[in-house]
Structure 1
């Protein structure tokens, strides 16, 4: 079990759990704990592999750095969202295609969270 735990901090925690388990439980049961820990580790790795973060930076072109239009970049991310989508932006509610994209994402079952500037603050 310790051999498959490469991070020193986690290896120390696993070692502490195994030592405590072996001190209070017969050895055959310790194999069950090892199996449970391996299963939990595999599950955690699968969930980490599912997470994906895409950051879009749009704005004026600066020298050789070319950016995409905000609505095009945002629509691509909205359409690709499968489970969750967090959007932090200025005034995207003013873009009808983006608003429609949000509606379609929610209909697909995407959990949508939006942090926007208010209409009053944006003028």
Structure 2
């Protein structure tokens, strides 16, 4: 084999190994809505086994869009309804970790329900 061929084979091997080592990422996004019509003042993304943080938000009022890089891991959302970004009037969370929370409706502070099904201080897929 020629030196050029060996160099190309080694370079290809390094490129393949490099691709396999790339970190998983999943930029999740969706919307968060406060059912009591208080404005969404913050969205915290708690990533299981990853880096948690504040989601970027766009829009205004009681229904806003959010986005965050969940690193391909399951996550839960905590949504602030009412108050200020520094001091929420109420916070509501999704009840478990998932890889697919996107559009959530949050029920802060008091019970809502029809036919015996109640949501209280929780966010659910909407």
Using structure 2 for the length normalisation, give the TM-score: 0.28
Answer 1 or 2: higher relative contact order, Cα 8 Å, separation at least 6: 2
Task: Write 1 or 2 for the structure with the bigger share of helix.
Answer: 1
The structure with the largest strand share of the pair is 2
TM-score by length of 1: 0.28
Q: Select the structure of larger CA radius of gyration.
A: 1
